[in-house]
Amino acid sequence: MSAIGEMERATATDTGVLRFITCGSVDDGKSTLIGRLLHDTRAIFEDQLAAVQRATWKRGQDELDLSLLTDGLEAEREQGITIDVAYRYFATPQRKFIIADTPGHEQYTRNMVTGASTADAAIVLIDARKGVLTQTRRHTYIAHLLGVRHIIVAINKMDLVDYDQAVFERIRADFLAFARSLDLGNLQFIPLSALRGDQVVETGAGLPWYQGPTLLSVLEGINVLNETEALPLRYPVQLVVRQGAGADFRGFAGRLVSGVLAVGDELLVLPSNRVSRVKEIVSLDQSLPLAVAGDSVTVVLEDEIDISRGDMLCDPASPPLALKSLAARICWFSEEPLSTANRFVLKHTSRSVKAKIAAIVDRVDINTLERQSAHGLLAMNDIAHVTVSLAQPLFVDAYDSNRETGSFILIDETTNHTVAAGMIELNPGNKA
Amino acid sequence: MNTATLERPAATSRQLPERNHLDWLESEAIFILRELAGECANPVLFFSGGKDSIVLLRLAEKAFRPARFPFPLLHIDTGHNFQEVLDFRDARAAELGERLLVRSVEDSIGRGTVRLRSETESRNAAQSVTLLESIEEFGFDAAIGGARRDEEKARAKERVFSFRDEFGQWDPKNQRPELWSLYNTRVHKGEHMRVFPISNWTELDVWQYIEREQLAVPHIYYAHQRRIVRRKGLLVPVTPLTPPREGELVEEVTVRFRTVGDITCTCPVASTAATTAQIIAETVLTTVTERGATRMDDQTSDASMERRKKEGYF
């Protein structure tokens, strides 16, 4: 960061962390875009650039290849592909950014699902010369499926179409036509050139007809916290904290996944269905008046109630549903196909229960968004509608309204592998 | 989302506190430590006396106090550590009233499980052997470390809960996908997890947190006078283990350490930063990565960290 950046840091408000995912293939200039973001926010160090230079020469290329900066592992450089999710970091005086960098190949749907699961925003990259492609639809659908609230469509390589506004407008219209069926939340279109640096961090000279914000300004402006603070209180208990022998401190440690919690608030405890009030909110030696979504704290209640890990404290006025059978969309990760004979451990918030897939309703063709018969079997990277039977009830919300209490993973009991990601639907309709 | 859930609860009228990036990182790390405590039967925390593990201890205090930590602290001593870092390690563990275990590479050499070519050879890689022996000795099923993804390219792909097989190996091509904040902590007997609560922190975040929490760190992190020689662009400290080579000029320079590892491969940087605030200012402006400026062993090849990690390195 520059000296100017440092001075800005002193005055700008630090609004926390924004996590985003970049969707696209190397051909769309994804690695160049990430390289550009890191470079122009001064997150790349000289020795990293020198290593990229050495690697570039070793490959017999001349011009510095910024994609090598983000293609991390020896194993994947040998194959010339990116094999997994990598995380990158940069910061501006406004906030810290975490990029989930996932490969764009079709066979790696699971990587994009993984990266999107924690993303607040998704950058969908389109090559201005090619327009909306099948993979654009696929990436947008997955971002939407995983509940990414802010979709930024970055129409890249504008320099290769003479910065033509008509190209940008046509692609935007095409995208809107296809996206109508998805009911996307916040959608923004930005023409840019990652290679030249136009409209990424700096405004650049190439796009005078574009009056909107740069990509970085859009990322800086997204408000994340208010969205989760506004939801009903959900507080999964992770641990019961007791002070050593003799003392009577008994607190419930956890992280507020949504809502606001204040001393004196009435709480419903699940599964016991008991009601109590917040006596104290503790963090180390501090006593806090309130905690907001995202905070890790320890809560002391006024009444003696039997509470253990996996229980949930929640808003009595709008509690989650206690369900033993779930409708969900899942993404299947394992090379072994899913069959309804399998048994799993299902992890949801801080609670794990035994589960099985009662029925595979249908699978979604992620290129056409058509729902098709799964013939009772799912293969790796398939996305499907299923019903899940549980050994004990879980306290759930629809994934659409609360990502943390609406999501789960399935773990194979024998191999311990994570084999599926699930998103709970309370009113499954005809949506893809 | 339905419209009912969009309406703010009664809390709307209250003035809600702002949360900055350190709050976010702290909260995430505490969450990870508590998940580990809730799900792993026999965890351990690597504590070296270095800044990252000092931050880990602070986060553990916030996660578990007023209770004691649900794990002991473990240091793998290469026998080539800076004495004041070891003193700091012992003092901090005593101050917290937590149990500190120390296992040394020297003992592995005695057992013949580590064989070095020379007394002054870097023991950084040899640590892996002693570390895996300790994990076996105590039957640990999870080991918490202060590694960060910004440190090195191979680490950018590391999971928060990172699976190790019964030989302690990391298989980067076969990692468990990690979604939302749902960590799969399950292992079979003999296997274990490496857990990295500050995965998402950068060097700058660590120093900002040290400043905010007013954490003490060993003095060699701050500017001091030290005898060094200049070698391949690095400032190599002159010690009995790293004597000057023929023809090298020994100088006394004002330096600080950005990392405090094995003496034989850790170099200071020229700096006059005498306070944490000054280190933060320097970190904001620095143009070389933490390891690039200070580690002789990572420069060997572009993939040296990846190879060491596969072999069980921390």
Q: What is the ipTM of this complex?
A: 0.92
Contact A243 B66 (CB under 8 A): yes
Whether A432 is in a domain gets the answer no
pLDDT tier at A59, thresholds 50, 70, 90: confident
- Show which of A287, A314, A341 is a domain's final residue: A314
> Is A86 found in the same domain as A194?
yes
* A88 and A35 in a common domain: yes
Cis? peptide before B243, omega within 30° of 0: no
Answer whether residue A266 shows pLDDT above 90. Answer: yes
For residues A188 and A282, state if they share a domain.
Answer: no
Q: Closest-CA residue in chain A for B64? A: A241
One domain for residues A306 and A331: no
User: Which region, left, alpha or beta, applies to residue A381 given φ > 0 means left and ψ of -120 to 50 means alpha?
Assistant: left
Q: Which residue has the tokens 């904001």?
A: B284
Q: How far apart are CA B298 and CA B302, in angstroms?
A: 8
First to last CA, chain A: 44
The segment with the largest mean pLDDT, out of A366-370, A425-429, B101-105, is: B101-105
Q: A153, A172 in Cβ contact below 8 A?
A: yes
Q: What is the DSSP string of A206-249?
A: S-TT--S--HHHHHHH---HHHHHTSPPEEEEEEEEE-STT---
H/E run at residue A49: helix A46-58
Is A407's pLDDT higher than 70? yes
* pLDDT (0 to 100) of residue B8: 39
Q: Are residues A212 and A252 part of one domain?
A: no
- The owner of tokens 């390589």 is A157
Q: Output DSSP code: residue A202.
A: B
Look at residue A17 and tell me whether its pLDDT is greater than 50: yes
The alpha carbon of residue B146 is apart from the nearest alpha carbon of chain A, in Å, by 16
Question: Is 0.95 surpassed by the pTM of this model?
Answer: no
A42-to-A24, A213, A215, A246, A412 alpha-carbon distances in Å: 23, 20, 16, 54, 43
Looking at A206, A221, A236, the residue that finishes a domain is A221
Q: What is the pLDDT of residues B168-187, one digit of tens each?
A: 888 877 789 999 999 999 99
Do A244 and A376 belong to one domain?
no
User: What span, in angstroms and rounded, lies between the C-alpha atoms of A369 and A408?
Assistant: 23
The total number of structural domains in chain A stands at 3
CATH of the domain at A253: 2.40.30.10
Measured distance CA(B261)–CA(B258) in Å, rounded: 10
- Asked whether residue A118 carries a pLDDT value surpassing 90, the answer given is yes
CA distances from B305 to A264, A426, B168, B250 (A): 51, 46, 15, 30
Nearest CA to CA, how far is B110 from chain A (Å)? 34
Q: Which of A9, A85, A407 lies nearest to residue B157, judging by beta carbons?
A: A85
Whole-number pLDDT of residue A5: 43
Does A405 reside within a domain?
Answer: yes
CB contact under 8 A, B182 and A408: yes
For the cut 70, the answer to whether the pLDDT of residue A245 exceeds it is no
Please give the residue of chain A at the shortest CA–CA distance from B11.
A260
Cβ contact (<8 Å) for A416 and B62? no
Substitution target in B14, B61, B153 with the highest count of A β-carbons within 10 Å is B153
| Contact residues on chain A for B305, CB-CB shorter than 8 A | none
Domain that holds residue A250: 228-314
Distance from C-alpha of A231 to C-alpha of A227, rounded to nearest angstrom: 7
Please tell me whether residues A132 and A275 are part of one structural domain: no
The verdict on a CB contact (< 8 Å) between B11 and A6 is: no
Is residue A111 predicted with pLDDT exceeding 60?
yes
Q: What is the enclosing helix (H) or strand (E) of B74?
A: strand B73-77
CA torsion angle A30 A36 A37 A40 (round to 10): 180
pLDDT digits (tens, 9 = 90+) for B224-267: 999 999 998 889 999 888 889 999 999 999 999 998 888 888 88
Q: Which of A225, A152, A149, A228 is CA-nearest to residue A184?
A: A149
Nearest CA in chain A to B149: A87
Query: Which of A60-69, A130-139, B132-141 bottoms out in mean pLDDT, i.e. has the lowest?
Result: A60-69
**Chain A residues with CB inside 8 Å of B67's CB?**
241-244
What is the DSSP secondary structure assignment for residue B63, as one 8-state letter?
H
The domain boundary, picked from A314, A331, A365, lies at A314
pLDDT at residue number A83 = 58
Residue A173 lies in a domain: yes
